[in-house]
Structure 1
Amino acid sequence: MKLIQELLEMAPGTYEKMVINHYHKWCTRHGFDDVDVQKLIANAALFAWWLEQYQKQEWKFSKRAIDFFGKADRFVLRAYHQEHVTKVDHLFSRSLLRAARKQKPITPQYN
């Protein structure tokens, strides 16, 4: 991940927000409604699977982008990174989605 952050010229916090936002969008794309999306977001096994897929795409990106580091503008590399990681949007694990949907929804606790 540190290599990706360097290639994209992103601070760790900014990079983390980008990854979490992508996961949220992925869950929104695969969820049926707000409660379903919440279950997907909260499922650790589903997130672990998704992150593995995301990191596979980042690895492919890094292998190709390393040659352009210092030569290409950071915005060009970020767009190229986006092309790679959006491939995850069309992937899903049917069994993990099913398991996540069986969870009870999270109910906020107010004091």
Structure 2
Amino acid sequence: MAIFAAVQTPEKVKDTVREIVRKPYPKYKVIVLNDDFNTFEHVSECLMKYIPNMTDDLAWELTNQIHFEGLAIVWVGPMEQAELYHAQLKQSGLTMAPLEAE
């Protein structure tokens, strides 16, 4: 029994190799919504407790934005971390929008 192998020339191999396209992972937004039952202090404390590198000044700025504009994006990053921060803030009683891809 004879076995025949197809041999491609370098030009044909080059044509069949696909270019690798690197795409960054999508980032997700953690968004807190305004409500009628959480106090400014509670919202600010939760942001400082659960969002990494959150400062007191930034927490108050975001809390004011939540109150006066109806929502604020409090963190943006990879999905797994976004899910964690979203769940922690929600468990603390904050009103959360669904995670959004950026």
Instruction: Select the structure that is richer in helix.
Output: 1
The two structures share one fold, judged by TM-score above 0.5: no
**Greater C-alpha Rg:** 2
TM-score, length basis structure 1: 0.28
Instruction: Select the structure that is richer in strand.
Output: 2
